[in-house]
Structures are given as structure tokens and as C-alpha cells.
């Protein structure tokens, strides 16, 4: 009886772990080449990619569609230079919160238009954000009047980016 019970616990644990583990999708060299080209220029047409890789357009279209369905390609987007639209201060801001409030605070931060990226993390800070502002004064106002008043926040550590070299 004990062996049977133990087996059921292990089987149940295995099933639970399998449900929690994200499926890793295997892709081949061609998929990597397509992804590389799209990362360089997301506006490339399937025909342009096909010409560069010496393949049929339909092959590229099917591959890109499969990469989208597998959520390897999440979306196509535009990269903005914040300084060119008057947002001259970019900061990486580490935020520490009361642990029970981590997800709630993270979701609240996602609602602010000035915050471009939000990630929970390990290391020096529990939440890392990227903020764009017109200048240091506006960044200070955002931090003190919008972020600092959120329930559960314990510490805010901004670091202004001097120059972005990659990414």
C-alpha cells in the first residue's frame, strides 16, 4: 500500500511540474537566419528575405507564420529614439517593495505611459523599469508624485542613462 501511495504522489508531482514548465520550441538554422534579418529590419518583406536567403517567398511566409504561432515572434514594433521626440532623460529605475505587494506594484507601474519597460528581477532590486522623461525635473516629479505614493514601495533607485551603446 505504501508503494502505491508513494507512486501516486510522485506521479501527481510530475504532472504538476510538467504543467508548470514552459515548452521550449526547437528552431533550425533557417529560422535563426529569418529572425536575425527581421531583428535588423522588421519591415523586410517575405520576398526580400527570400531573395537574401535564396529561398521561395512561400517558405519564408510559412516559417514566419509558424514563428508567430509558437510565440517566438511576439510582435512587430517600432524602436523610437526618445531624444528625437523631446524625451532627453532616460533612466533605469530599480524599485524595492514589500514582497506581498510585488505583483500588484508591478502591474500598477505598467499603467504609466512614462515607464517603457517593467520587469521583476532578482539581484539588487525587485522591480526594474525604464523611464523616459523630458528632463531631470520631470523624472523627479514622476518618481515622487506617481511612483513614490504607490502602496508597498520601500525604495526607489534611479540611474540616468548617459549614452545607449546597444539595444
Q: Which domains does the chain have, with CATH numbers?
A: 27-77 (1.10.10.10), 85-160 (3.30.70.920)
> What percentage of residues in the chain have a pLDDT greater than 90?
78
Q: What is the DSSP letter of 16?
A: H
H or E element that contains 92: strand 89-97
Q: What is the DSSP letter of 129?
A: E
pLDDT of residue 19 exceeding 60: no
Residue listed under C-alpha cell 508548470: 20
User: Cβ of 29: how many Cβ atoms within 10 Å?
Assistant: 7
Higher pLDDT, 124 or 22: 124
Contact 60, 46 (CB under 8 A): yes
Q: What is the pTM of this model?
A: 0.73
Q: What is the pLDDT of residues 53-95, one digit of tens each?
A: 999 999 999 999 999 999 999 999 888 999 999 999 999 999 9
Give the chain's mean pLDDT: 88
Contact 53, 33 (CB under 8 A): yes
Three-state DSSP state, 130:
strand
State how far the Cα of 61 lies from the Cα of 82, in Å rounded to an integer: 33
Amino acid at each position: 500500500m505504501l508503494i502505491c501511495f508513494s507512486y501516486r504522489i510522485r506521479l501527481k508531482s510530475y504532472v504538476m511540474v510538467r504543467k508548470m514548465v514552459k515548452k521550449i520550441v526547437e528552431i533550425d538554422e533557417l529560422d535563426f537566419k529569418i529572425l536575425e534579418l527581421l531583428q535588423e529590419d522588421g519591415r523586410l518583406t517575405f520576398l526580400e528575405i527570400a531573395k537574401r536567403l535564396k529561398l521561395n517567398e512561400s517558405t519564408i511566409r510559412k516559417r514566419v507564420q509558424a514563428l508567430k504561432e509558437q510565440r517566438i515572434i511576439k510582435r512587430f514594433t517600432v524602436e523610437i529614439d526618445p531624444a528625437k521626440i523631446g524625451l532627453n532623460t532616460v533612466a533605469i529605475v530599480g524599485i524595492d517593495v514589500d514582497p506581498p505587494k510585488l505583483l500588484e506594484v508591478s502591474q500598477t507601474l505598467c499603467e504609466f505611459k512614462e515607464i517603457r519597460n517593467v520587469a521583476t528581477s532578482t539581484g539588487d532590486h525587485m522591480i526594474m523599469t525604464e523611464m523616459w522623461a523630458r528632463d531631470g525635473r520631470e523624472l523627479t516629479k514622476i518618481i515622487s508624485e506617481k511612483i513614490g505614493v504607490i502602496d508597498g514601495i520601500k525604495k526607489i533607485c534611479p540611474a540616468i542613462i548617459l549614452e545607449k551603446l546597444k539595444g
